Each structure stands twice: as C-alpha cells, then as structure tokens.
Amino acid sequence: MHELRTRLQSDNNTRRHRVRTGYCEGVCLKPKITVLSAVSRSWTRSAFAVLLFLTHIAQTATGPAERTLDSDMDKDEADRLIEKAKLCLRSGWKDRALQLLYEAQKIHPSTRARVLIDAILRNGGTSASEANHVPPPAGWRDEDIGHSETSNASGDEKKSYTEDQRQGVLRIKNCKDFYEILSVPKNASDEDLKKAYRKLALKFHPDKNFAPGATDAFKAIGNAYAVLSSPEKRQQYDQYGDQAASVNTPQQSSHSRHGYHRNFHRDFEADISPEELFNIFFGGRFPTAFLQLLPVLVLILISVFTQMMATNPPYSLFYKPAMGLVVSRETQHMGVPYYVDKSFEKEYRGSALGELEKTIESDYIEHLQNSCWKEKQQKSDLANLGQLYRDERLKQKAESMRLDNCDKLHRLVGRQRGK
C-alpha cells in the first residue's frame, strides 16, 4: 500500500510538472507568436501598397502608349489618303483629291495635306481658300544641280535637245530672284504668275526638255511660283529674300557678291514638289496630248461626214424598203431582177441606164458564183461528216440538198450561150 501510494504521488508530481512546464512554455511562446504575427501583417500591408503603386505606374505608362499607338495609326491612315489624293491629281480628278485631303486633315492634321489643299484651291480653280501659308517645292541648289547633271549625264547624251532649250536652262540657272525666273515684274498679279508658270512648266518639264539641268530648272520654276503665289511668303520674300542670302554663311555672302543668289531660295522652300504642283495645274497630263490625237480625230470625223454625205445606191439586187428601193425592174440584156426607188426613171435613161444595167448584171453573176460555192461547200461538208461517222441520215441530207444558186447560174450561162 505504501508503495502504491508513493507511486501515485510520484505520478501526480510528474503530471503537475508537465502541466506547469507546458503552461510555462505556452506563456513564454505567446509573446513570440504575437510579434511574428505583427511583423507578417506589416509586410503584407507594405507588399499591397507596393503592388498598388506599381499598378498605378503601369496604368499611367499604358495610357500615353495607347494614345501614341492610336496617333500613329491615324497618321498612317492620313498618309495613305494623301498618297491616294496625289494619284487622283495625276489623273486630273481634283475634286476627288480635295475630298481625300480634307478627310486626311480631319483624321490627322498635317502640313502636307494643308499645303496640297491650299495649292488645289488656289491653282486648281475649284474654290477660294482660307489657307494659312503657301505650298512650295524643292529649291535651287548648287549641289543638287551638280548631282543631277552627273547622274543624268548618260541619259541626256542619248536624248537630243535644241540650242534654245539649253539657253533657256542657262537663263534659269543664272537668275538672281524668283521674279527673274518667271520673267514677271515685282508687281505681277496672280493671273500673270499663273500664265508664266504654265508656259515655263511645259517648256522645261523633264519629259519634254532633255537639256542638261532641265530638271533643276523645272524645280526652280515650281519653287518660284509656289512662293510668289502665296501672299504671306511673297511678302516675306520681298522683305527678307536678299538679306537671308547674305546672312547664311560667309561663303554664301561671297557668292552673293558675285551675283550668285540661288542659295537664299533654301529659306523659301516648299512642302509640295514640282511634280505635284504640275499635276494640280495640268492634271498629270500635257495639254498637247489633244493635239497629238487631233489627226486621228480628224480622220474619224471625215469618215463619219463622208458616210453621212454619201447618197444611197441607185439599185439593189434585193428588196430594201428602208432605203426606198421598192420598185422592181429587170435588165434588158439578161433579165436580172433588181430594185430601184421611185425617181429612178427620171435620173437613168438611155446610155446611162445601159451602163448601170451592165453593172447590175455583173454584180448578180458574182453574187450567184459566191452563193453557189457556199452551197457546194456545205453539201460536201455534210457528205464528209456522213462518211466519217457512218451516218446515213447525213448522207441522205447531203444528197437531197438543192443547189438553187448553182442552178440559176447554169441557166443564166446557158441563156447567154443560146443567144
């Protein structure tokens, strides 16, 4: 009993110790767990804040990117419409080109579209314009001239040009200002500028003038007109043109002292090319194209006029009420039937009637010969087909086919022999 009691007491002591130890561990660990939970919540809040910040940055960066992408797409579409408008100008469809340019300007406003619109409205004869500034093509540059003459030397040598064309290019090359290029006074009106440009553009266009430097002369003419046809640019050119030439560089100043003023044109270059300006004026075609087609048109008109003036034949081998040939007659010699109009007897008598009836008989014999040959050919073809396919029906049809025109021809020949 004593041992049992001692063992139970020992077990109770052990159990108390374990409980006490476990309680102590729980009490001691609880502050540690609380600290770890607080740290975990703090890191979670920080990570969430960082995530929100990164999301905001991404959204902020994505917005302009999307807007830039949309802007690029609009610009590409506007460029496509501008190119279509240029094609329309080459074909002479100015109204359609203007419509496309307005659409391009609405999608993505640009200087190119506005310049072309201004040029069409001012020079194309469509309507008045409210343009801000004027179009202008590539300017006249010494280095461009040298490069063009070098690159096109072989082509120019193969194509002939006149002395007048060469002298004209030299005149344009030595001009000191835009007015001298167009050969107009400084108080020239818009109509005078247009007339001068039309004349010179046709004369110096590279497709018609093969003299060395003609391409650059054509560019200079287009540039001169593009600047002077704009009130704003013309005013700036009249006021600052020569000064702009002298303040560019010392080298340019030395050139200007020798009368070499072409470099100042760079300050007045245009956004529209000489070819585009030419297409606006002439619709991409030379006005002389009509003159080239004129001989063909004259021949067609002569042919139509001849047919209209030609009188109806006095006779026909067949009944033709539409032509008034309804009166039946026969030739005196061979008895060939033919038809005439009601006034025939008044016009043909005696020898005139005899000569006409000889012609009628000759035509009739020729008609019978041709018809007889066709009948024989058709009969022979049917017989050959029947023989080839062993078709008795075709053979019988070929044998029974009548040669009426051949019979008429034989009777006519026999009658002639009998006489």
Residue at a domain's end among 247, 274, 290: 290
- Please give the backbone phi and psi of residue 206, each rounded to the nearest 5 degrees, phi first: -60, -25
Give the CATH number of the domain where residue 179 resides: 1.10.287.110
Cα 260 to Cα 177: distance, rounded to the nearest angstrom: 10
Residues with Cβ < 8 Å from 315, sequence gap 6 or more? 325, 338, 339, 340, 344, 356, 360
CB-count exposure of residue 236 (10 Å: 0-12, 13-18, 19+): middle
Residue 105 and residue 183 share a domain = no
Q: Is residue 230 part of a domain?
A: yes
**Which domain, by its residues, includes 213?**
142-290
Residue at a domain's end among 64, 92, 109: 109
Tens-digit pLDDT string for the chain (419 aa) = 556 566 656 666 665 655 455 444 444 444 444 444 554 565 666 666 666 666 656 555 555 545 555 677 788 888 888 888 887 877 777 788 888 888 888 888 888 888 888 878 876 544 433 333 333 333 434 344 344 444 444 444 456 888 888 898 999 989 988 999 999 999 999 899 888 888 888 888 888 888 888 888 888 898 888 888 888 888 888 887 644 433 343 344 344 434 334 443 444 455 566 666 666 666 555 555 555 667 778 888 887 777 666 667 899 999 999 888 999 999 998 889 999 999 998 889 889 999 999 999 999 999 999 999 999 999 999 999 988 888 999 889 999 999 999 999 988 888 777 66
Residue 362 and residue 238 share a domain = no
- β-sheet bridge partners, residue 325: 320
Q: Is residue 172 part of a domain?
A: yes
Cα 14 to Cα 334: distance, rounded to the nearest angstrom: 162
CB 245 within 8 A of CB 263: yes
Cα 83 to Cα 75: distance, rounded to the nearest angstrom: 12
Q: Is residue 234 part of a domain?
A: yes
Q: Is residue 125 part of a domain?
A: no
Residue 224 and residue 169 share a domain = yes
Residue 282 and residue 152 share a domain = yes
Cα 63 to Cα 59: distance, rounded to the nearest angstrom: 6
pLDDT at 364: 93
Q: Is residue 126 part of a domain?
A: no
Q: Is residue 228 part of a domain?
A: yes
Q: Is residue 32 part of a domain?
A: yes
In a 13 Å sphere around the CA of 382, the CA atoms on its Cβ side amount to 17
Q: Is residue 128 part of a domain?
A: no
**Cα 52 to Cα 11, 38, 43, 111, 405, distances in angstroms:** 60, 21, 14, 43, 106
Number of domain units in the chain: 3
Residue 336 and residue 268 share a domain = no
